[in-house]
């Protein structure tokens, strides 16, 4: 009976649920202020933009599959000394 006599927000579970609910409302309301950019047909048909649409995924794959593993290997001994990699 002592549990029922305490106010609702004094209970740890109720406090956590209330906090989680308020956080969900705040995070859910944040995207309401965002909106998409207007479509500009002059910018979207530019030849460099079309090339960027094709080359961006290629560059991302090269970065992920080649450069990041190479940096990881080069940042560990004995290659760190050979390549002069310095820890920040």
Q: Which domain holds residue 46?
A: 36-88
Query: How many structural domains is the chain composed of?
Result: 2
Distance in angstroms (rounded) separating the CA atoms of residues 57 and 65: 12
| Cα–Cα nearest to 9, from 1, 17, 21 | 17
| Per-residue model confidence (pLDDT) at position 10 | 60
Q: Are residues 68 and 46 in the same domain?
A: yes
Distance in angstroms (rounded) separating the CA atoms of residues 56 and 85: 28
Q: Are residues 27 and 63 in the same domain?
A: no
Say what percent of the chain tops pLDDT 70.
Answer: 86
Q: Are residues 1 and 30 in the same domain?
A: yes
Q: Are residues 45 and 26 in the same domain?
A: no
pTM: 0.46
27 neighbors 20 (Cβ within 8 angstroms)? no
Is residue 6 pLDDT above 80, yes or no?
A: no
Tens of pLDDT along 7-35? 655 678 888 888 899 999 888 877 777 77
46 neighbors 35 (Cβ within 8 angstroms)? no
Q: Are residues 43 and 86 in the same domain?
A: yes
Q: Are residues 49 and 87 in the same domain?
A: yes
């Amino acid at each position: 009976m002592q549990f029922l006599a305490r106010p609702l927000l004094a209970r740890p579970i109720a406090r956590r649920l209330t906090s989680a609910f308020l956080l969900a409302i705040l995070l859910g309301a944040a995207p309401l202020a965002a909106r998409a950019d207007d479509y500009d047909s002059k910018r979207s048909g530019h030849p460099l933009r079309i090339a960027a649409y094709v080359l961006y995924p290629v560059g991302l794959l090269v970065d992920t599959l080649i450069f990041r593993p190479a940096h990881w290997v080069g940042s560990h001994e004995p290659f760190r000394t050979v390549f002069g990699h310095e820890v920040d």
